[in-house]
Amino acid sequence: MAVKREIVGFGENDELVFSQEFPEEKMAELRPLFDYGDDVDMYAGSYEVTDDIRDRVAAILGIELRPGIAYYVEATQVD
């Protein structure tokens, strides 16, 4: 299954304020930071970037995560 990996951020009123794709290869570093249950490949749903992993996620993806924004790692199936 081919997927598009993204980190998305939501501001006040759940408004989408940030979206950036990242390569699948980054998932090897990101996956251990999340509680993904049975979804080992993290294909289902969104995974919250909590305060305790925020700095590590930012470093792995090489981006700055702004305060006050709720970030999530997502996968979208592409055909």
**Long-range residue pairs from 22-29, CB within 8 A, at least 24 positions apart, any chain:** 22/61, 26/60, 26/61, 29/60
pTM for the model stands at 0.90
Q: 43 falls in which pLDDT band (50, 70, 90)?
A: confident
Which residue is listed with tokens 């993806």?
A: 61
Q: For the chain, how many residues are written?
A: 79
Query: Mind listing the pLDDT tens digit for each residue in 49-60?
Result: 999 999 999 999
Q: What range does the domain containing 59 cover?
A: 3-77
- 48 pLDDT band, cuts 50/70/90, is very high
CATH assignment at residue 38: 3.10.50
Domain count, the chain: 1
